[in-house]
Amino acid sequence: MMKRKKEAYTSTKRDQYTVVLEGIRSDNKIFGENLQFVRDSVASLDTKVDLRFTKVDEQLEFFKTELALIRHRLVNPEEIHLLELRIAALEKKIK
């Protein structure tokens, strides 16, 4: 008789562990599915961000080129030199 009680007790414990493990397995499966959804969403956003940065880089290069042209047109090294000489002359008068 003693043996039967021990077997019944072991079987009950094993069944309890099995139920708990099945619950954990089910929770992990749901978590995995949700994690895959998040990964897909992040991959989609990553692609969109890459496209936007590519466009921004192209626009930045365009603006750099335009700025260089504007600088070249506005700044004449000879004029700057003449202005520096005039400033130096005015500073001497002030002292």
DSSP string covering 21-88, please? HHHHHHHHHHHHHHHHHHHHHHHHHHHHHHHHHHHHHHHHHHHHHHHHHHHHHH--HHHHHHHHHHHH
In this prediction the pTM is 0.44
pLDDT tens digit string along 58-68?
Answer: 999 999 999 88
pLDDT tens digit string along 3-54?
Answer: 555 655 667 888 888 889 999 999 999 999 999 999 999 999 999 999 999 9
Rg from Cα positions in the chain: 39
Q: What letter represents residue 94's amino acid?
A: I
